[in-house]
Chains A and B, each alone.
Chain A
Amino acid sequence: MIHMSGVSKVYGNGSVALSDISIDISKGDFIFVVGPSGAGKSTFIKLIFREELPSSGELVVNGRNITNMRPSEVPYLRRGLGIIFQDYRLLPDRTVYENVAFAMQVIEAPRREIQKRVNSVLDLVGLKDKYKCLPTQLSGGEQQRVAIARAIVNNPVVVIADEPTGNLDPETSWDIMKIFERINKAGTTIVMATHDKTIVDTMRKRVIAIEKGRIVRDQVKGVYGYED
């Protein structure tokens, strides 16, 4: 599903964010990306949805070669990905329903299908009753669930999450993780950068540790491995 070989990223100012990363992520994998702040986790995540381009090396996501991808192809790459951020990134002037439907509208899905899918994913994340609410009327956990609903509404093959529980209390974080697990059980690959030791140590998924731009550990049923 995601294939990197010899991938490096050097930013314009000369700072090396990633060097010589090689990794294969298969369909249905659930992966935690861990490591100290500034180690390159975010860059790793951003490369996958082509927010950043690799400086060298080969990167294939969902059968698409990112290295030589034309900018006009990027939207079609992203339609196969669901992207979730720490800060939710919801549109404050639109309801829960509209925020989720938005992701389908902009790829010109038929109205009937939008209705069906949005109701179904809102049900999945447990927000069926709050579809009329504005994001400001929701708790942080609920907002993140809206963001998750929006990320999966187009049936992505990979969900990429950058610290999705970073702003949430432990209990709410667990609710969110249960949703991720459910999505993963349905066959969706999940790549999640996180700082949450408890979650990683409890769920025992594959763990990729990045330090100073290099993969220092790639562990099946791994643990967080850092003190908080």
Chain B
Amino acid sequence: MRIRTIEYFIREAIVSLRSNGLMSFASISTVALSLLILGIFLILVLNLNNMASALESQVQITVYLKDDLSDHQMREVGTRITKLEGVNQVMFISKDEAMERFKGRLGEQQTLLTALGDTNPLPNAFEVKVDKPEKVKLTAQAISEFNGVENAKFGQEVIEQLFKITKMVRIFGVVLIVFLALAALFIISNTIRLTVFARRKEIGIMKYVGATDWFIRWPFLIEGMILGFGGALIAVFVLSRTYSAITQEIYSSLAFLPLIPQYPFMNNISIFILIAGTAIGALGSTISLKRFMKV
């Protein structure tokens, strides 16, 4: 393809954008809005995921000890656990403490415990925290093989629950994003349809004098891509400004919330949105051209 031809395509696209000024403005705004919402959701989902995995890492292993251990033996087990790689924190929970907690959890239904009489069926235990979530399972397995350990459980249910929630949020996010992408697609294809309609005479003549379909398509494709990219640019600008303001605010007031830091996170989001916007623009004009370019 000649450089001059590319120049011609871009010039035609810009002429068309200008002559369709109001419609171009409307579609850039709508694409910007759609991508803005898409971006907000994306940032939300990714941050939720981030928080979920932060919570996952806090999941602890509960080590139940055999009933017949002496204090000394129990302390020995504790020491061995502490020496394991990746273990951050080991806390002893005696069977009495465990009973107190259990009572607390039962609340008004404590009468259920009267059936037990004075016996306490709960074992002595250690609560173990590890530095990385992926180490939880292996560490629990290692501990369960120690002498004097009845078994070692980790909050599998909790993790599974978290995964379920994350999955649901993701599904909802994908559905919303698909819906918004379709809306943006519809708007761009509609704008290009108007352009194609306004230039149908020109397209007809181009076909009669032997222009290839691609030669005819390119200016419209470029126009769509400019619309998509323009909208994305606005969305990216608003999103990164807003995110930077929010993270600064939260870091200073709610420091415990594990927000993903601005860099390089927002750069990646921005690149994604710019590519998505351009792709939506290209796709939108392709749809219109497929439907309306038959002269």
**Which residue numbers of A lie inside 8 Å of B, CB to CB?**
49, 71-72, 74-79, 81, 83, 89, 91, 102-103, 105-108, 111, 150, 154
* Complex Cα spacing A72 to B214, Å: 10
Q: Are B213 and A105 in contact (CB under 8 A)?
A: no
Q: Are B201 and A154 in contact (CB under 8 A)?
A: no
Shortest beta-carbon distance from A96 to chain B in Å: 14
Q: Are A89 and B204 in contact (CB under 8 A)?
A: yes
Known A-B contacts A91-B205, A102-B205, A108-B215; the reply to A154 vs B210 at CB < 8 A is: yes
User: At the interface, is chain A mostly helix, strand, loop or mixed?
Assistant: helix
- List chain B residues, Cβ under 8 A from A105: 8
- List chain B residues, Cβ under 8 A from A154: 209-210
Q: Are B210 and A76 in contact (CB under 8 A)?
A: yes
**Nearest B residue to A91, CB-CB:** B202
Known A-B contacts A91-B201, A108-B2, A108-B5; the reply to A49 vs B212 at CB < 8 A is: no
- List chain A residues, Cβ under 8 A from B204: 89
**Chain B interfacial residues counted at CB < 8 A:** 18
Partner of B209, one of A72, A106, A111: A106
Q: Are A106 and B201 in contact (CB under 8 A)?
A: no
- List chain A residues, Cβ under 8 A from B201: 89, 91
User: At the interface, is chain B mostly helix, strand, loop or mixed?
Assistant: helix
* Complex Cα spacing A111 to B4, Å: 9
* B207 close to chain A: CB less than 8 A: yes
**Nearest B residue to A79, CB-CB:** B210
What number of residue pairs across chains A and B have CB atoms under 8 A from each other? 50
Shortest beta-carbon distance from A16 to chain B in Å: 23
Q: Are B8 and A107 in contact (CB under 8 A)?
A: no
* Complex Cα spacing A45 to B207, Å: 16
* Complex Cα spacing A78 to B213, Å: 13
- List chain A residues, Cβ under 8 A from B215: 106, 108
* B211 close to chain A: CB less than 8 A: yes
24 contacts between A and B (CB under 8 A): A72-B213, A75-B207, A75-B212, A75-B213, A76-B210, A78-B207, A78-B209, A79-B210, A89-B201, A91-B201, A91-B205, A102-B205, A102-B206, A103-B205, A103-B209, A105-B8, A106-B209, A107-B209, A107-B210, A107-B211, A108-B5, A111-B4, A154-B209, A154-B210
* Complex Cα spacing A77 to B210, Å: 7
- List chain A residues, Cβ under 8 A from B211: 75, 106-107
Shortest beta-carbon distance from B191 to chain A in Å: 20
**Nearest B residue to A78, CB-CB:** B210
* B208 close to chain A: CB less than 8 A: yes
Shortest beta-carbon distance from B252 to chain A in Å: 58
* Complex Cα spacing A81 to B208, Å: 9
Partner of B208, one of A49, A71, A91: A49
* Complex Cα spacing A108 to B211, Å: 9
